[in-house]
Amino acid sequence: MSPEEDRVGLDSEGLEFPVEAMTAAGAVHRALLERGETCATAESLTGGLIGAHLTAVPGSSRTYRGGVVTYATDTKAGVLGVPEDLLAEHGAVHPEVAAHMARGVRRLLGADHGVAVTGVAGPEPQDGQPVGTVHVAVATRDDRTRVHQFRFTGDRSGIRYRTVEGALLLLDSAVRGSTAGNTRT
């Protein structure tokens, strides 16, 4: 088995999932379960992959409330309440957009934690941001929101999967009460 094959698992439908992301999803589930808490996802560039990883964990219905895929910019405003003026001024790939998405999905689905991702998977830049720019936000029930910016390299698929891994690791950190990442109130 090659090192790359060693890092990838297959689900029941033959779709590839990086082992790191599956491990991170399991860790998030255990941390939420230990605390009696829940999470919800708001996804743009990942198109539901974070939710897919979370629901691949047995028993995830006890900790995962659901997710919203707001791929089009206008749906970020219409569904999640991202201010239209923020989107008009900065576009969808911005840390404050991610923060509003995370708070919006947490409220919308009644979860203790909301995690949101927005970014550029490629192949072309978007909103003046280069390919690989990703913003991940985690909103908690105490009205604190952490935002982290990533600069990933690689192809579209790789950027999307690294975004899943990064989002799950940041969510796990927030659930466990770490102070990693920027804090916005």
Q: What pLDDT score was predicted for residue 150?
A: 95
What per-residue string of b and e applies to 96-122 under the rule 16 or more CB within 10 Å gives b?
bbbbbbbbbbbebbebbbbbbbbbbbb
Integer Cα distance of 84 and 10 in angstroms = 40
Residue-wise pLDDT for 23-82, tens only, equals 999 999 999 999 999 999 999 999 999 999 999 999 999 999 999 999 999 999 999 999
pLDDT band at 157 (very low <50, low <70, confident <90, very high): very high
Mean pLDDT of the chain: 88
Q: What pLDDT score was predicted for residue 19?
A: 60
Q: In the 3-class helix/strand/coil scheme, how is 43-80 assigned residue by residue?
A: ECCCCCHHHHHHHCCCCHHHCEEEEEECCCHHHHHHHH
Q: What pLDDT score was predicted for residue 5?
A: 39
Q: Residue 184 pLDDT more than 60?
A: no
Cα 139 from chain centroid (whole Å): 11
Q: What pLDDT score was predicted for residue 182?
A: 43
Cα 53 from chain centroid (whole Å): 11
Residue 51 contacts residue 171 (beta carbons within 8 Å): no
Both structure tokens of 131: 């390919």
Q: What pLDDT score was predicted for residue 26?
A: 95
Both structure tokens of 139: 């909103």
Query: From start to end of the chain, where are the E strands?
Result: 8-10, 16-18, 39-43, 64-69, 113-119, 133-140, 145-151, 182-184
